[in-house]
Amino acid sequence: MAARILIADDHDHLRAALSELLQKTGDNWSVCAVADGKAAIEKAGEVKPDVVVLDLLMPRRNGMSAGREIHAILPGVPVILFTSVTSASLDADARRAGFYDVVHKANASDLITVIRKALAKRGLRSASAS
């Protein structure tokens, strides 16, 4: 069964590119993408993803707020903050709020590694079957 990954980012081109990147990794991942924090919360409750990736700055709920609510709904699901904001205090705040990790958009290639680690920690196989 494919690992389910939910991503939320309000920039259409980035959301599409990220979805495509994740689907082309060779891993058995099913990607669902939404455009804002409120939609991320609703979709998380619907699809029960294995990993959630949230942009920080989104309409209708920012990533920090949406992440907290997703943790309340799905407490065991790793939530990753994917942001262009670089700040040690933001990273610390995200970790205190229960985020699995913070990945900076400038280092977008790190996102795949972090997702694989989050899935492995949950005991889910990320690599596609041969």
Residue 77's domain is classified under what CATH number?
Answer: 3.40.50.2300
Q: Which of 32, 5, 30 has its CA nearest to residue 128?
A: 30
At 1-28, the pLDDT tens digits run 789 999 999 999 999 999 998 888 889 8
The whole domain housing 7 covers 3-121
Q: Is residue 92 part of a domain?
A: yes
Cβ-based neighbours of 72, under 8 Å, separated by 6 or more: none
At 105-125, the pLDDT tens digits run 988 889 999 999 999 988 876
Q: What's the half-sphere exposure (Cβ side, CA atoms, 13 Å) at 114?
A: 21
